[in-house]
Structures are given as structure tokens and as C-alpha cells.
Amino acid sequence: MMDVSRLRKLQAELGVTFHNQRLLQQAFTHTSYVNEHHSAQHNERLEFLGDAVLELAVSQYLYKTYPDRPEGELTRLRASIVCEPSLCVFAERLNFGQSIWLGKGEEQTGGRTRPSLLADVFEAFIGALYLDQGLNAVEKFLQATVFNQLKVEQKNKLKDPKSTFQERTQQLDLGQVVYRLVEDRGPSHEKRFVSEVAVGDRTLGMGEGRSKKESEQQAATVALKQLGRG
């Protein structure tokens, strides 16, 4: 039996009340829970929808916020926002991990703090909110929880991690930056990619993501920390 009290508390904290509570419950239901409780519905379809809604909402926000920025910069900034590391941070700030329904095995192996799982739940929540109340509600939620924070964190920072890392290595004259795909695993609809970034003969970072590009961005983020820029 699902304990829905956690979601009532979460809605109060977020200032968002769902008309259809089952949509909200589905958004926080991981496949591992459904494997043990067959009457429940997992959140993967909502995750798929939420990804597209996030792309649109973030694109519209950037288009309006930076009217003088060219397409390339807006694309890079959007990629730095709608990616697993950023979505995980948003979910952590909102304490989403405490409200997820997990199977026993996933619970025991630390699923509540797994970055990929938290990012997926954030997307599923956005998908559920869109179905329940529309795009305006999604934009209002993102404005309050994500966009206002971005203004503080990225006021003068419109470069993605790969671009920042490239510039940093050039400044330090460290040599050529090379990204390599180390591994791709999982079925075609749930691929996970692992990439590494090296400078010269030294590997400085490894990253994982749902696309090759995303894994490279994550690897660059790790490498920047190695250089003392994280």
C-alpha cells in the first residue's frame, strides 16, 4: 500500500496541488516498485513526456531572457540545464528522493540518491504537472524552483561544461582535449553511455548519460573539478 502522506507534504512544500493525485503518484513510482506491486503504474511514460515539456519550457525561458544571445549560445545553455546532472540537482533541492516508491532491491542499493533515477523523477513530475494543469503551470513551477536560481548561478555563465573545459585547458596550455566513448549499455530505448575525457595521455574525467553528448558533458564537469574549477 502506498503511503500518500509524503506526497501531500511535498505538494504543500512546493505550493502545487494536483487535481489528479494518481498522476502525481505515478510520477514518483519507479519500475522496481511496479515489479513488486503489479497494480501500480511506473513513471517512464511521464518521464518521456516531461523531457519534451522541459525542452520547450526552458527554450522559451531562454529565448525571452536573453534576447541578444545567438542560437548557438542558447542551445549550449539549454543543454546544460536539461541534462541529467542539472535535473538531479533540481530534484535534490526539492527533496524528491524522499517521496519515490522503490522496490526493495532498489531501496537497498541507494536508489533514492542515484542521479539518473532522480533526474528521471524530475522529468516525470514535469510530465504529470503538464497533463494535470498545462504548460502555464509548468512554467510557473519552473520559474519558482529552477529559473530564479539559474539567474543567480549562471548570471554570466552561458557556456556548457565542454566549452568551459576546452577554454581552461587552452589557458593552462595542457594540450589537446579528446573525448572517447568507453561503453554503451542497455536496450535501445534505455541506452546509457559512458565517456571519458583526456588531455594528452592523462584521463581527467568520466561521465555517464542518456546520450553520448550528455556523457561527455558530465565527463567535462568531472574534469573541471580535477582542475580545481568545479
Please indicate whether residue 51 is annotated as part of the active site: yes
pLDDT for 128 beyond 90: yes
Report the interhelical angle of 212-226 vs 161-171 (nearest 10°): 40
Return d(Cα 80, Cα 76) in angstroms, integer: 6
The model's confidence at residue 111, banded by pLDDT at 50, 70 and 90, is: confident
pLDDT for 19 beyond 70: yes
Please indicate whether residue 123 is annotated as part of the active site: yes
Q: Which CATH architecture group holds 5-153?
A: Orthogonal Bundle (1.10)
Considering 106, 123, 132, 208, which one is annotated as catalytic?
123
Considering 47, 51, 84, 106, which one is annotated as catalytic?
51
> What CATH number is given for 161-226 in this structure?
3.30.160.20
- Share of residues in the chain with pLDDT > 90 (%): 48
CA distances from 67 to 64, 125, 159 (A): 6, 29, 16
Mean pLDDT of 50-54: 96
Return d(Cα 81, Cα 75) in angstroms, integer: 10
**pTM exceeds 0.85 for this model:** no
Q: Domain extents for the chain?
A: 5-153, 161-226
